[in-house]
Structures are given as structure tokens and as C-alpha cells.
Amino acid sequence: MKSKIRKISIYNQIFIWNYTEKYYLGDFYISRIFFSPQDEKSISVECFFKTRSSYHMGCHLNHGFTAVKGEKEHTINFNSPKFISEFIGFMVANKIDFARQKRYRFDYAHVLLEEMGFHSFNACFAPYELFMSE
């Protein structure tokens, strides 16, 4: 599934980003969030998520799923600029240093959501062992 590149401003810097469902493997979807500073094309960040498919919806990440942060339930939708802004902001503040490294790849990225404080997902993320076996 092809997705258009979008722009978003975070910390007074413009980033380009997109979300794609990369491919479907049996009972699993591999999805990707990509982002990069707009003015620095040599820098890129890819975050891969592997979820079990839903009979009714397909990939949860594209349609939104619930998670708890603090004591409040949130809907996380990887196509939502509101969520992407929070996600990229977290990554820039805590996980990446563009001055030290130009390319980042996070294969088991739902752990990043947990580090952001989310838990009790209603999306079924694949266990680490299944992710690494592909």
C-alpha cells in the first residue's frame, strides 16, 4: 500500500513522514512509520510494527486502536497527525541524535509506545520472537 509523504512541524523543525502497511504475512501485518527532517534528506528513521491481523479490520494501526496512558484511554491512529506529532516529538527528544547517526531503524517499535507511557493495547502486537523470525 503506497502512502503519500506528509509534512509536520515539531520543535520548530519540519519533518516529512508517512505511514504504510508494508506487507501481510499470514496472520501478521508489518507496518512502518518513516520520518526525516525535511531539509536533511540523508537522515531517516524507520519504525516497524508487527501486529496480528483482525478479521474485521485488517491492520489495527491504520484504523486506530486504544491504549491507556496514565489513567486515560487514548485512541492511537498511525495516520493521525496528532499522534505522529507526539510520536516524532518523543523520538527526537529521547531516542535519536541526528548529529551522531544518520539512519535509524527500530524493528520492534511497539516497545517505543510503552516507553511513551502507553499500555493495555487492544491491538495485538506480535511477540518479539515472532518478529525476529521473519
Asked whether residue 34 is domain-assigned, the answer is yes
- Contact call for residues 22 and 59 (beta carbons, < 8 A): no
Which one has a higher pLDDT value, 75 or 23? Answer: 75
The residue that leads in pLDDT, 65 or 24, is: 65
Tracing cell 496514565 back to the chain, one arrives at 70
pLDDT bucket at 106, cuts 50 / 70 / 90? very high
Q: C-alpha grid cell for residue 102?
A: 544518520
Other C-beta atoms closer than 10 Å to the C-beta of 47 total: 24
* Rounded CA separation 41/39 (Å): 6
Domain assignment of residue 88, yes or no: yes
Q: Is residue 1 part of a domain?
A: no
- What is the value of pTM for the model shown? 0.83
Task: Work out how many domains the chain is built from and give that number.
Answer: 1
- Find the domain containing 27 and state its range: 6-132
